[in-house]
Each structure stands twice: as C-alpha cells, then as structure tokens.
Structure 1
Amino acid sequence: MTGRSRIRSLAAIVTMIGVVGLVFGLTGPLLNLLLERQGLSGRAIGLNGAMTALGALVFTPFIPSIAVRVGPFRLLFGTLAATALILVLFKALDDYRIWLILRFMMGVCVVVPFLISEIWINQIATPQNRGRLLGIYAACISTGFGLGPLLMRFTGVGGWTPFLCAAGLVTIAMMAIAMAREDRPYLDRHGHKSPWPYIKGSPIAILAGLMYGAIETGIFGLLPVYGVRSGFSETTAATQLTVIAAGNILLQYPVGWLADKTEPRRVLMLCAVIGVLGGACLPALKDTLFMWPVLFIWGGTITGMYTVALTMLGHRYSGLALASANAALILAYNTGAMGGPPVLGQAMDLIDPDGLVYGLAGFFLVFVIANIAAATLGRRSAQRPTDTGAA
C-alpha cells in the first residue's frame, strides 16, 4: 500500500467511525428521552437501551466468518445502509415493543463498523506507528460520542428532524468509505473464525476491553448522578463528564505514542495504576480545584486501555485471526458494558455517593492484579525449561 493510499484509507476510517460515534452518541440519549416522555419506568427504559448491547453480543461472534464469506467492505457498507434504514424506522414505528427489536438490530449493525474499521486501521499501520494511529482512531470515536448529545440542541427531541439527521450522517459515513474502496480491507483464511480461542490467547488485552466497557459505561451513565449526590449542581456534574470526555479525546495520541515507544503491556499497567489512584483520591479532591485535572487524566486513562489493547492485538495477529481477536475484544467490551453499571450502581447505593469511584478504582485494581499475576506466570513458564535442564 502506497503512502497516498494509506492516508486516503486513514481519512476514510476516521471520518466513518467519527460519524458513527456521533450517530450513536445522538440516538442513545434521544431514544431514552422519548421513552421518558411516555412516562415509562427507569427499568423499562434501561431494558430498551440494553437491547443494543445484547444485539452486539449475539452477532459479534459471527462477524469474522460472514466477513470472509461476503467480504469485509461489502459487510461494512451493507450494515451502514441498514443502520440508516433502522434510524428512520424508529420514528415511523413509534412503539416500545418494536423499539426493543429495532435497538437489538441497531446493535447487530453498529458493531460491524467498529470491528471492520479496527481491522482496517491495523492493516494500514506499521509496528512503528500502530499505537499512534489507533490513538487517532480512539480520539475520533470519543469526539463523536461526545458531540452526539449536543446535536439535540439543533435538531430538537421531537419530530422527524433528529432521525433524518442521524440517517443523513450515516450516508456521509458510507460516502467516506466509498472514496477508499480501492484500498478496502482484506481477510485471509488463516486462523480461527471463532473469537473464543483468542480470549485464551490474549487474556490481558481482552481483559482490558472488558474493564474498559465496564468503566466507560459506568462513568458516562452514573457520574452525573454521583456529581449531584456530592452536592454539585447539575451543570457542574455535566461539566465533570465533559472534562473526562476531553481527556478521552486529547490523551489518546500520547498514549498511542507511548505504546509505540515501549512495551504496550507496560502502558496498560500504567493506565490501570493511574485509574486506581484517580478513583481512590477523587473523594478527597472533589471540593478542590485538583478534581478537574484528575478527571481529565482519568478520562485519557480509561480510553487508553482500549487503544493499547487494540495495539497489542494488531502486533500479534493479522487477517482472519485479527478479525476474530477483535471480535473477542468487542465481546469483552459489551459484556463489561452490560455488567459494569449495575455493579457500580449497587456500590454507590452501599457507600453513597463515593461507592461509584471506589468501585471504578476496584475495577482498575482487578486489572492490575491480573496483569501482575499473568506476568509472574509468564516468567515462571519461561524459566521452567531452563530449570529442568539444569537439574
């Protein structure tokens, strides 16, 4: 692949994934607000929203084999077209039970752009710049997610406008990848089509995805509640989330650069240790100005775990094996996204409100302990043949 085609592919990927993140960031709050207007319970609204993650979980294991059969580019283009149609159907078929099905299908469709784009960007990356390119990729996703809710200021919540706007944005994403169709991603047939072997083969990277899913969804779902319960105004609580989002965006390139310059596993450990310290210190700092830089660095730490996990998989696998390993990572993310918020919500109820940040620190601590344990076992395994020979 020439330098020009690499730049064209990278531009197409980040444009497409940024737009998909924007649409996802818009539709989640939009649909929940519309359900709230209908007077539904929080449990019913939560169940409706969980169908997206469920759809992703159910469909992800099949993506590598389908992508090999029909081609990753065709699969990507087709699921984007289906996403645009689903967005219009939300408004045309305004019924809670139908929305359960549509949100499930949304999860099925929206997981494909993430998986294919991660494979694609790993294919155009080199070992020297993979971390930085994936840092740009992660920053574009975070930017889309962060700007999505702001679109409602312009589209409003009622009427057709937000749905047509979202469908139009998906069309822009399709146009972006069409411009790079000559440099489309490819998949060879070497490796397992199932993601399950790669959970065992790359446990630390997959665990990072699990923790990232639990921590990210827990923070973006519950931090505003934590802020209000801590005595802050709703505006200040929302600002806390904005500062974390800024860290998500601005620190991904430095994290990726560090992963390029040193062992990625060490960078994962650094992110996790900062996560532990941030969660442990935040209750004591929330009435001081130091809270804001801690939240900013914390935000970069959270997304940095996913960036570095992708880098590790890209270094180790290629082709079909990379697709299946990425599928394992996405499965882990969605598992964490479904399980993390209930655990963190329970922690906040038990220790009100600081149980949330203590619980988040606990998730990071689990990862630190697992990383140390895996490194220790790895060293022992490496030494065993030598010890046996010496004996």
Structure 2
Amino acid sequence: MTGRSRTRSLAAIIGMISVVGLVFGLTAPLLNLLLERQGLSGRMIGLNGAMTAFGALIFTPFIPSVAVRLGPFRVLFFTLSATALLLLAFKLLDDYRLWFALRFLMGIAIVVPFLISEIWINQIATPENRGRLLGIYAASISAGFGAGPLLMQLTGVDGWTPFIVAALLVLVAIGAITMARSDRPYLDPKGHKSPLPYMRAAPIAILAGLMYGAIETGIFGLLPVFGVRSGFSEGMAAAQLTVIAAGNILLQYPVGWLADKAPARRVLMLCAVTGVLGGLLLPAVKDSLLMWPLLFFWGGTITGMYTVALTMLGRKYTGLALASANAALILAYNAGAMGGPPLLGQAMDLVDPDGLVYGLAGFFLIFVIANLVVPRERAATAA
C-alpha cells in the first residue's frame, strides 16, 4: 500500500467511524431517556439496551467469512444502509417491546463497521506507530460518542427530528467510506479461522474488551439516567457524557503513545486502577466542580483499555488471523455490553442511583485482579 493510499484509507476509516460513533452516541441515550420517561425500571432499560450487544454477539463470528465472500465494501454498504432504515423504524414502531427486536437487528448491522475498520487500520499501522494510530482511531469513535449527546440537545428528544438526523448521518458515513473503495482491506480467503481460539491465546486483551464493553455501554446508556436520578436536568446529564467523551478523545493519543513505549499490560493496569478510583470517588464529588475533571480522566481510562487491547492483538497477529482475533475482541466487547447494562441497571435500582458507579468500579477491579493473576501470553504469533 502506497503512502497516498494509506492516507486515503485512514481518512476514510476515521470519517466513517466518527459518524458511526456520533449516531451511536445520539441514539443510545436518546432511546434510554425515552424509556425512562415511560417509567421503566433501570433493569428493564438495561435489558432493552443489551439487545444491541446481543445482536452483535450472535453475528460477529460470521463477519470475517461474509466479508471474504462478498467483499468488505459491499458488507459495509449494506449494513450501513440497514442501520439508517432501522433508525427510522424506532420512531415508526414506538413501542419498547418492539424495540427489543429493533435493537437486536441494530446490533447486527452496526458491529460490521467497527470490525472491518479495526482490521483495516491494523493493516495500515506499523510496529512503531500502531498504538498511536489506534489511539487516533479510538479518539475518533469517542469524538462521535461525545458529540452525540450534544447533538441530542439540538435535536431534542421528542418527535422525528433526532431519528431523521441520525439516519442522514449514516448516509454521510457511507459517503466517507466510498473515498477509499479501491483501497479496502485484503482478507485472504485461505486464512479464515474461528475467533474462539484467540480468546484463549490472548486472554488479557480479550478480557479488556469484555470489561470495556460492560463499562462503556453501561456509562453511555445509563449515566444520563444516573444524572437525572441524582437531580440534574436532562441537558446536564447529557453534558456529563460529553465530558467523559472529551477524556476519551484527548487522552487516547497519549495512551497509545504509552502503549508504543511501555509493556501493554502495565498500561492496562494503569487504566484499570484509575477506573476503580474514579468509580469510588464520583458519588462523593458529584455535587461539586471536582466532578468534571474526574469524569474527564475517567473517560480516558475507559477507552484506553480498548486502545491497548487492539494494540496487543495487532502486535501478535497478521492477515486473517488478525481479523479473527479482532472478531474475538468484539465478541468479548459485546458479551460485556450485553451483560453489563442489566447488571448495572439492577445495581442502580438497589442503591439508587450510586449503585451504577459502584458497579462500574467493580468491573474495573475484576480486571485489576485478573491482570495480576493471569500469566503473560506467549510471544507474538504470525497468521
């Protein structure tokens, strides 16, 4: 791949994934706030949101083989188009019981851009800049997530406007990926493997994906509910998400740089310990100005775990083995995203509302313990 095509591919990936992140950052809190208005419990809101992760969990193992058979660009075009239609269906079928099915289908559609873009950017990266490029990638997703709640303040929660805007944004993502249609990632059809063996071969990276899925979806789905139950307005609750996303954006490049210079497991430990402390401290400072810097650094910690996990897999695997390892990471992410919100919603119902952040601290603590106990993985393995 030439330098020009690398630049074009990177621009296309960043453009597409930023917009997809924006759509996700808008719709996840939007749908959950609408469910909160209907008087649903935190547990039911969490279960509804978990259906997106369940759909992704079911479909992810098939993505590498489908992408080989149909081509990465065709799969991206089809799933992004389906995402735009599903966004409109949420408003058309305004019933939380039907939203279980719609969120399941949304999970199938929206996981594809994430997996293919991660494979693609790892193919572009070199050993010297992998952590930093993945930091830029993660920051781009976070920029979208952070802009989503801000956009919700402009579109409002009521009516068709937020759903139409989200669908139009998906069309922008399709336009972005078209920029690099001729530079799509190469997937060798002879190299396809199941993602399951990679869960055993890279346990710490996969566990980081699992914890990140539980923590990130729990925060972006339930923190607005936590904010409202803590006495903040809906706009202020959305602003809390924006500050977390700002930490994600601005701290990912430093985290990626650190992962290029230091052992990845040490960087993961630093992120997890910071996550534990942030979750324990937030209830004590949520009524003061200290809440805002805490949310900022906490946000960088959350996405930093996924950035470093991607870096670890990119160092260890190449070719379609990397695609399958990435699929294993996304499987773990979506398993966490499916199980995390219901557990965190239940915790918030039991200790209203601080159970949410105590539960998040507990997830970080599980990872800290595992990182201390699990032996170091074997040396890098080629495809």
Counterpart of 2:317 in structure 1: which amino acid? Y
- TM-score where L is the length of structure 2: 0.88
Distance 1:153 1:221, change over 3 A: closer
Change in 2 beyond 3 A, CA 1:57/1:245:
same
Q: Deviations over 1:87-114 (max 9, x none)?
A: 3444455555554333222111110000
> Aligned runs of 1:103-142 on 2, under 5 Å?
103-142=103-142
Distance of aligned partners of 1:237 and 1:26 in 2 relative to their CA distance in 1, 3 Å threshold: closer
Q: What is aligned with 1:268?
A: 268
How many angstroms apart in 1 are the aligned matches of 2:285 and 2:94?
Answer: 45
Rg larger in structure: 1
C-alpha separation between the residues in 2 aligned to 1:96 and 1:282?
31
Q: Which amino acid aligns with 2:143?
A: T
Relative to structure 2, which stretch is displaced further, 213-222 or 107-116? 213-222
Matched residue SS, 1:369: helix
> How far apart are residue 28 of structure 1 and its match?
2.9
* Partner SS for 2:277: helix
Q: Distance in 2 between matches of 1:12 and 1:321?
A: 23
Q: Judging changes above 3 Å, is the alpha-carbon distance between structure 1 residues 367 and 95 closer, same or farther for their aligned structure 2 residues?
A: closer
User: Which residue of structure 2 aligns with residue 152 of structure 1?
Assistant: 152
1:182 aligns with 2:156: no
Aligned length: 378
Go from structure 1 to structure 2 and tell me whether the alpha carbon gap of 1:190 and 1:263 turns closer, same or farther (over 3 Å shift).
farther
Residue of structure 2 equivalent to 1:223: 223
Matches within 5 A, 1:351-390: 351=351, 353-375=353-375
CA distance in structure 2 between the partners assigned to 1:272 and 1:151 by the alignment: 30
| CA deviation after TM superposition for structure 1 residue 159, in Å | 4.6
Q: Which deviations, in whole Å up to 9, do the C-alpha atoms of 1:174-221 show, x marking residues without a partner?
A: 111111112111112455532111100110000001111111222233
Alpha-carbon distance in 2 for matches of 1:284, 1:331: 35
Partner of 1:72: 72
Deviates more, 1:298-307 or 1:49-58: 49-58
Task: After TM superposition, give the deviation of residue 118 of structure 1 in Å.
Answer: 0.5
Equivalent-residue separation in structure 1 for 2:44 and 2:287 (angstroms): 35
Asked whether 1:198 is paired with 2:234, we answer no
- Distance in 1 (alpha carbons) for counterparts of 2:246 and 2:127: 27
What is aligned with 1:207?
A: 207
Unmatched 5+ stretches in structure 1: 383-391
Structure 1 residues 278-287 or 293-302, which shifts more? 278-287
Q: Distance in 1 between matches of 2:288 and 2:159?
A: 43
Query: Structure 1 counterpart of 2:23, which letter?
Result: V
Q: 1:351 to 1:25 in 2, by over 3 A?
A: closer
What secondary structure does 2:186 align onto?
A: coil
Amino acid at match of 2:298: W
1:236/1:95 Cα in 2 relative to 1: closer, same or farther (>3 Å)? Answer: closer
The verdict on how the C-alpha distance between 1:353 and 1:163 changes in structure 2, with shifts beyond 3 A counting, is closer
Task: With the length of structure 1 as denominator, give the TM-score of the two structures.
Answer: 0.87
Aligned residue type for 1:244: I
Instruction: Name the CA distance, whole Å, in 2 between partners of 1:97 and 1:166.
Output: 21
Q: How far apart, CA to CA, are the structure 2 residues paired with 1:351 and 1:225?
A: 13
Corresponding residue for 1:245? 245
Could you say if the C-alpha distance between residues 356 and 65 of structure 1 is closer, same or farther in structure 2, counting changes exceeding 3 Å? same
Q: Does the alignment pair 1:24 with 2:27?
A: no
Q: Is 1:188–1:320's contact at 8 Å kept on the other side of the alignment? A: yes
Is the counterpart of residue 56 in structure 1 residue 61 in structure 2? no
Residue 81 of structure 1 pairs with residue 74 of structure 2: no
For residues 343 and 159 of structure 1, what CA distance do their matches in structure 2 show? 30
The answer on whether the counterparts of 1:88 and 1:164 sit within 8 Å (CA) in structure 2 is yes
Whole-Å separation in 1 of the counterparts to 2:31 and 2:110: 16
1:388: which partner in 2? none
Q: Which has the higher contact order (CA 8 A, sep 6+)?
A: 2
Structure 2 CA distance, aligned partners of 1:87 and 1:214? 23
CA contact (8 A) 1:61 1:327 kept: yes
Residues of 1 paired with 2:49 and 2:187: CA distance?
A: 32
Displacement of 1:309 in angstroms is 0.5
Question: Using a 3 Å threshold, how does the CA distance of structure 1 residues 364 and 100 change in structure 2: closer, same or farther?
Answer: closer
Deviations along 1:333-357, whole A, 9 cap, x unmatched?
Answer: 1111122233334444555554433
**CA pair 36-282 structure 1, distance change in 2 beyond 3 A:** closer
Q: 1:86 to 1:233 in 2, by over 3 A?
A: closer
CA contact (8 A) 2:205 2:329 kept: yes
Query: 1:341 maps to which residue?
Result: 341
Taking the aligned partners of 1:86 and 1:274, their CA distance within structure 2 comes to: 37
Contact kept in structure 1, 2:57 and 2:331, CA below 8 Å = yes
Tell me the amino acid that sits aligned with residue 263 of structure 1: P
* Residue identity opposite 2:278 in structure 1: G
The DSSP-based 3-state class of the residue aligned with 1:251 is: helix
- Greater shift, 144-153 or 299-308, is seen at 144-153
Give the Cα–Cα distance (whole angstroms) in 2 for the partners of residues 351 and 88 of structure 1. 35
Look up the equivalent residue of 2:72 and give its one-letter code: P
The amino acid that maps onto 1:22 is L
Q: 1:177 and 1:222, CA in 2 relative to 1: closer, same or farther beyond 3 A?
A: closer
Matched, 1:164 2:164: yes
The whole-number CA distance in structure 1 between the counterparts of 2:23 and 2:231 is 32
User: Which residue identity lines up with residue 305 of structure 2 in the other structure?
Assistant: M
Cα deviation, 1:319-340, whole Å, max 9, x if unaligned, reads 2211111111111111111222
| RMSD, aligned CA | 2.7
Worse-superposed segment, 101-110 or 44-53: 44-53
Taking a change above 3 Å as real, the CA distance of residues 326 and 279 of structure 1, as seen in their structure-2 partners, is same
Change (3 A) 1:239 1:229: same
Aligned counterparts of 2:167 and 2:350: Cα–Cα separation in 1: 42
Distance in 2 (alpha carbons) for counterparts of 1:317 and 1:152 = 39
